[in-house]
Amino acid sequence: MPDPPALKRRSPCGKDGRAWILRCDGLGRAGATGIQKHLKAIEIVDAAIESIERLNPTLNAVVTPVYEQARKLGNGKMPDGPFTGVPFLLKDLGAPYAGVPMTTGSATMREFVPDHDSQLVARLKRAGLIILGKTNTPEFGILPTTEPKIFGSCHNPLDVDRTTGSSSGGSAAAVAARLVPMAHANDGGGSIRIPASRCGLFGLKPTRGRNPLGPDFGDPVTIKKGEVPVFWACGVTPQAVLMKAKPDLCITHTPGHMFISDLLNEELATL
């Protein structure tokens, strides 16, 4: 399949042997650093960062880069997971990552920096994924287009004059442009499904309760956590591997309030 027509891009990797990795899905990139030992994790991370730095000014998909942390992980000892060394992006909503701002697309949350990883983020890291940054989302994930005032509009790599949909528009744009092979998203009313359809991707909305929201919540207001994998050639395989590779990745209960009403009742009881 040709590159997205709006980008008309060349590989940032030149002739040093890394160009092919940008066309691999998550399993292909994992194989490059794991079983097949073709490349080091840091080489794949650097290739992804090069792509983001060159294409993101057009797409505005990545709003909070964390390259220093990513390179440190890529140069260090990696966990033995199904996606060891694979670059990944988190949606800037509903996925606390310790030490990294989480604005939820709103200027009112600009200074909020979580002091802990969510259970989902911890599990993604245990799977071997290397987080490169946070992706664009509308304010509090509410609107049908990814155009927050704080960061500006996210553009569809298939046609930059068209919308990516919402609310996981930044993640979808990043995957469709092959900046990363898969990225985090969540879905309460179409926020995985709409951007996936707009950007020509496979996106899976997991069953309620499948992926955790702990330690802050259990399952507030039916919001679900999931991934927006994967560009053109990959199909459903990486999502299936991520959800089934290890029993503790996505299917076990974590501490937290199953419903937001439980949390509110506890707060009211202290008044």
- List, by residue number, the catalytic residues: 91, 167, 191
Is beta strand 182-187 parallel, antiparallel or unpaired with respect to 130-135? Answer: unpaired
Parallel, antiparallel or unpaired: strands 224-229 and 182-187: antiparallel
Q: Which two tokens stand for residue 194?
A: 């709409």
Q: How far apart are the first and last CA of the chain?
A: 60
E strands, 47-100, where?
A: 62-65, 87-91
Torsion angle, alpha carbons of 184, 188, 194, 196, to 10? 30
Q: Which of 196, 223, 226, 199 is nearest to 211 (CA)?
A: 226
In order of 30, 116, 130, 188, the CA distances from 48 in angstroms are 14, 26, 11, 29
C-alpha to C-alpha distance for 259 and 271, rounded to whole angstroms: 20
DSSP annotation of 69 reads: H
Q: Is 161 strand, coil or helix? A: coil
CA distance 119 to 216: 9
